[in-house]
Amino acid sequence: MTTRVVITGTGWVTPLGSEIETVWARLLKGESGIGPVSHFDASTSATSFASQVKGFELARFLKDVSPHEMASIGTKYALGAAAQAWKQSGLADAKVERRRFGIYLGSGEGQLDYDNFLASNLAGWTAESRSVDGRKWAEHALSTMTAVREIEQEPNLAMSHVAAEFGCRGPAFNCMTACAASTQAIGEAFEIIRRGDADVMFAGGSHSMIHLLGMTGFVRLTAMSQRRDTPQTAARPFDQTRDGFVMGEGAGMIVLESLEHAKKRGAKIIAELAGYGSTADAFRITDIQPDGRGATGAMAQALKQAGVSPREAGPDGRPPVHYISAHGTGTKENDKIETAAVKALFGPLAPKIPFSSVKSMLGHLIQAAGAVELITCIKAIETGIVPPTMNLKTPDPACDLDYVPNAPRDLNAEGGVELCLSNSFGFGGQNDTVAVRKYRD
Amino acid sequence: MPRRVVITGIGVVSPLGIGHGALWEGLNAGRSAFAKPTIFDSSGFATKLAGQLPAEFSAKDYVPKSYRKAVKVMARDSEIAVAVAKLATEDAGLVTRGTLDGAPGTPTYPSERMGCQIGAGLINAETDELTSALATSTDEKGAFDYRKWGTVDGGGGGMNNLQPLWMLKYLPNMLACHVTIIHGCEGPSNTITCAEASGLLCMGEATRVIQRDAADICYAGGCESKVNLMGTLRWTLLNRLAPCAETENPASIVRPFDPDASGTILGEGGGLVVLEEREKAVARGANVYAEVVGFGAAHSPPPAYEAIRTKQNASGDDKPGDGPRFAIEAALAEAGIGIGEIDAIVPTGSGIPNADSDEAAGLRAVFGRKLADIPLVTITPAIGQSVAGHAGWQLAAAALAIKHQRLPASLNAGAPPADLRSGAASAKPAKLRHVLVVSCALGGQNAAAVLRQS
């Protein structure tokens, strides 16, 4: 008898808000979180807009924020999302054995101490030799940079803060597999509970790359949209006119628990995590396998673990999966190949599966994207409504599936939403998919 | 019947040299490899020495001809990763896409049965490369001017001085990305970023991947280089490095578990082991170094970070050393052995008092009075602390000690407490059936693994 794993808490910090219900309502209305970058002066950048978190205050979520004041912004988002998930889970009132309570995050790095970092580099710069004088650099850096600002950039610090706040003393991991990271974290946390190494896991991720070199890196790769005049509609997954993703930021966090543990403490079970698949493209550093086989493999593994055959319709004639949350970045390559991967797996049933990208509204939360998108799947199961792909006005012949264009869809008349897949694919060829299912005893 | 996992290959580069032979020989001889680095100028820091890789190290020697062009988008951390992956592949006697390099032949394992878990750190942008671009975008006072950086609306286009793929050099998952491309690993891949614990956490996860039948073979370990300005700066600010002059005797600087130790030295490098499902390894006649029989991981209040350490212990439940203790106890329980069956321990032992004391507390909590009987294999006095790469070295040392039934020499100019057998000692033969590897990170992540003689 394998251990079943359920979700008992959810929380997120997103460009459309930091509360589950309000963000969900805004997603169903098709709102956009995108606007001009205000975190730094990006006014002359080919991409000068992003999907920023607005009005976030950690004090709304935690009584004592003092240990976290110097944390990076991504860590603060992680804490905000974790606090929501913790509250919903009701674990505060349960006696969780601390070493059976672990954490697996896919959190990204914090931001450089830009003022002092840039100044140190320039202080050491020697134009004649086109190199940095190490002694001058060190002198400037040692007198201006601080230990706390530097340590808080380490990617394992988000989990250190979350574990501090909520008392996780079990297995603890942080992965950085680019845009796939938080889906991978959730999948691996699921495996940790399945094999009995923990009873409860915090899982998810956080990230903000809306800073000078983060944005620069993607501009140089020409991976981001450059629609400076119409940023609100710049994220156009699956549309013929798509020209790249829009950078977002935020965090998503869930509480995973063995079914037995959740039942024993009388927890309210939100959904069941039913499967996880993970593959590598092993192809090229910049490109996806053209046949999408890495993505197909990740989805196939997740479905197999969920005990579902991709090409068998249910007795009601519906496809075996009722919703797929697409990676759907809005880059030319991703959307075309992800479409091909879904078709390769589901065959004739593929066009019948609602398959949308909330990145059209939230932008791309990079390492946090997968966790936030999984929560949209959980809401779809709970409400029977799937969120739309906005800004999909011009069909692309290479993208010919049902992307739920421009308006949400209520599936309650057909029987609601039982099983969803959430896809995340990362630069470097990481492919991760999780399957989430309506909980039934 | 649960699937069993064995180590069939070791690839390592360290300041002692290229390959596990150089590491083992140097550790046995009791040599310390610290010297004044030539890849960056350490003169502005109190710590003048570092553990740099030998000057002849060149990534080009380790990538297939068909992949040579990619070397220009590899940070040093990725160069180390592709090197140790090649060394591990050869050591394990594997045929892969990389060893074939377009020649006819069949890889030992199909792509989808090959995984890759490589621990990595935050990769620092090369200072000269980045600054040469930044320097094009300054105001009249010489400060960085954000508006000059962009390319439109009056921008001066400064960012165009960075190569288009610039960012791809610095994503931590590029280590695994290059290795999976070279060797054709299409199975589960991961990049754990938990500082010193990264490599051992990766080994644990790779073990689970094979146990759950998601792959038959995995490259597992970690690689990192902080032997650069930014790495040295950060560890200097964190008070983790031993101040030392260029003329200091390298062998006397790092003193694991000595309460009066002055800090560690940064080394660069790392290691990957080839983990393989046991029956398949035996069937192909592979050389087996050891079996992975237990793994555990746990979180604890970060030993070196007071702000969150205090908060974490608000409940008063946490005892010093709980993190390593929980990880070790889980690993021993899985191995099904008692504390009397551990014949040697390869600890983190960085020579940083507040980190070492937490690790020591964990060891004491598990082993009690028995601890004084168990030799500790500390490698930092010889090769330094390579952070995400460190457990790659530790795993190599543990597996080689089991293979050779021998304890390497122990360097320690300090005075560790009597119950921690990490003082100076010569190399000697030893009966080693079980070796425990422990890895504790600055952020509070801990991992432990038990290796068994096969």
- Domains of chain B listed by start with CATH number: 5-126+167-283 (3.40.47.10), 128-161 (no CATH), 294-452 (3.40.47.10)
Residue A278's closest chain B neighbor by CA?
Answer: B188
Q: Which of B447, B436, B454, B441 is nearest to B398 (CA)?
A: B436
Please report residues of B whose CB lies closer than 8 A to that of A184.
190
Q: Record the tokens describing residue A308, joined without a space.
A: 């579902």
Please report residues of A whose CB lies closer than 8 A to that of B300.
169
Amino acid at B44: G
Based on the domain organization, do A310 and A378 belong to the same domain? yes
* Cβ pair A305, A435 in contact under 8 A: yes
Q: Left, alpha or beta for B368 (phi > 0: left; psi -120 to 50: alpha)?
A: left
Amino acid at B330: A
Question: Distance (Å, rounded) from C-alpha A158 to C-alpha B283?
Answer: 44
Q: Record the tokens describing residue A57, joined without a space.
A: 């205050």
- Give the per-residue pLDDT at B318: 86
Contacts of A288 (CB under 8 A, 6+ apart): A281, A294, A295, A333, A334, A337, A425, A429
Instruction: Tell me whether residue B315 is exposed, middle or buried, using C-beta atoms within 10 angstroms of its C-beta: 0 to 12, 13 to 18, 19 or more.
Output: exposed
Tokens 């020209």 — which residue?
Answer: A243
Q: Record the tokens describing residue B58, joined without a space.
A: 């060149």
Flag whether pLDDT at B182 surpasses 80.
Answer: yes
Q: Is the pTM of this model over 0.90?
A: yes
pLDDT band of residue B243 (cuts 50, 70, 90) is: very high
Q: Record the tokens describing residue A172, joined without a space.
A: 């603890």
Q: How far is CA A124 from CA A117, A118, A133, A136, B122, in A?
A: 11, 10, 5, 5, 22
Instruction: Tell me whether residue A147 is exposed, middle or buried, using C-beta atoms within 10 angstroms of its C-beta: 0 to 12, 13 to 18, 19 or more.
Output: middle
CB of A99 less than 8 A from some CB of B: yes
- Give the per-residue pLDDT at B302: 75
Q: Which of B97, B166, B177 is the best residue to mutate to test the A interface, defined by the most A CB atoms within 10 Å of its own CB?
A: B177
Tokens 């079914």 — which residue?
Answer: A259
- Give the per-residue pLDDT at B317: 81
Q: In chain A, which stretches have pLDDT less than 70?
A: 1
Counts of helices then strands in chain A (DSSP H, E): 13, 16
Based on the domain organization, do A133 and A190 belong to the same domain? no
Based on the domain organization, do A131 and A10 belong to the same domain? no
Contacts of B415 (CB under 8 A, 6+ apart): B258, B260, B423
- Give the per-residue pLDDT at B310: 60
Q: What CATH number did the domain enclosing A325 receive?
A: 3.40.47.10
Domain boundary (A123, A149, A175) is at: A149
β-bridge pairing B344-346 and B434-440: parallel
Q: Do B134 and A70 touch (CB under 8 A)?
A: no
Question: Distance (Å, rounded) from C-alpha A56 to C-alpha B138?
Answer: 32
With a pLDDT cut of 90, the percent of chain B lying above it is 94
Domain boundary (A125, A149, A173) is at: A149
- Give the 3-state DSSP-derived string for A128-139, with helices as H, strands as E and coil as C: CCCEECHHHHHH
Based on the domain organization, do A294 and A331 belong to the same domain? yes
- Render A267-300 in DSSP notation, one character per residue: PPP-EEEEEEEEEE--S-SS---TT-HHHHHHHH
Please report residues of B whose CB lies closer than 8 A to that of A148.
307
- Give the per-residue pLDDT at A88: 98
Based on the domain organization, do A107 and A126 belong to the same domain? no
β-bridge pairing B17-18 and B344-346: unpaired
What does the pLDDT look like over B301-317, one tens digit per residue? 776 666 666 655 556 68
Tokens 């739920």 — which residue?
Answer: A404
Q: Do A285 and B122 touch (CB under 8 A)?
A: no
* Reported ipTM exceeds the 0.95 cut: yes
Question: Distance (Å, rounded) from C-alpha B8 to C-alpha B217?
Answer: 10
Based on the domain organization, do A214 and A235 belong to the same domain? yes
- Give the per-residue pLDDT at B332: 98
Question: Distance (Å, rounded) from C-alpha A125 to C-alpha B130?
Answer: 10
- Give the per-residue pLDDT at A297: 98
Question: Mean pLDDT across the stretch B419-436?
Answer: 98
Please report residues of A whose CB lies closer than 8 A to that of B159.
45, 216, 219-220
What does the pLDDT look like over B379-409, one tens digit per residue? 999 999 999 999 999 999 999 999 999 999 9
* Cβ pair B382, B16 in contact under 8 A: yes
Q: Do A132 and B131 touch (CB under 8 A)?
A: yes
Range of the domain at A138: 114-149
Based on the domain organization, do A51 and A136 belong to the same domain? no
* Cβ pair B350, B387 in contact under 8 A: no
* Cβ pair B263, B239 in contact under 8 A: yes
Q: Which of B433, B432, B431, B436 is nearest to B450 (CA)?
A: B436
Based on the domain organization, do A80 and A144 belong to the same domain? no
Q: Record the tokens describing residue A112, joined without a space.
A: 């450089």
What does the pLDDT look like over A46-55, one tens digit per residue? 999 999 999 9
Instruction: Tell me whether residue B282 is exposed, middle or buried, using C-beta atoms within 10 angstroms of its C-beta: 0 to 12, 13 to 18, 19 or more.
Output: middle
Q: Do A145 and B44 touch (CB under 8 A)?
A: no
Based on the domain organization, do A136 and A169 belong to the same domain? no
Residue B241 has what DSSP assignment? B
Q: Which of B66, B299, B319, B325 is the best residue to mutate to test the A interface, defined by the most A CB atoms within 10 Å of its own CB?
A: B299
CA-based nearest distance A80→chain B, Å: 16
- Give the per-residue pLDDT at B301: 79
Question: Distance (Å, rounded) from C-alpha A430 to C-alpha B186?
Answer: 9
Based on the domain organization, do A215 and A345 belong to the same domain? yes
Higher pLDDT, B317 or B64: B64
Q: Which residues of A are catalytic?
A: 179, 327, 364
CB of A146 less than 8 A from some CB of B: yes
Residue B244 has what DSSP assignment? B
- Give the per-residue pLDDT at A219: 98
Based on the domain organization, do A137 and A167 belong to the same domain? no
Q: Which of A231, A234, A243, A247 is nearest to A391 (CA)?
A: A234
Count of domains observed in chain A? 2
Question: Distance (Å, rounded) from C-alpha B195 to C-alpha B326?
Answer: 19
Question: Distance (Å, rounded) from C-alpha A231 to C-alpha B8?
Answer: 53
Residue B409 has what DSSP assignment? P
Based on the domain organization, do A105 and A190 belong to the same domain? yes
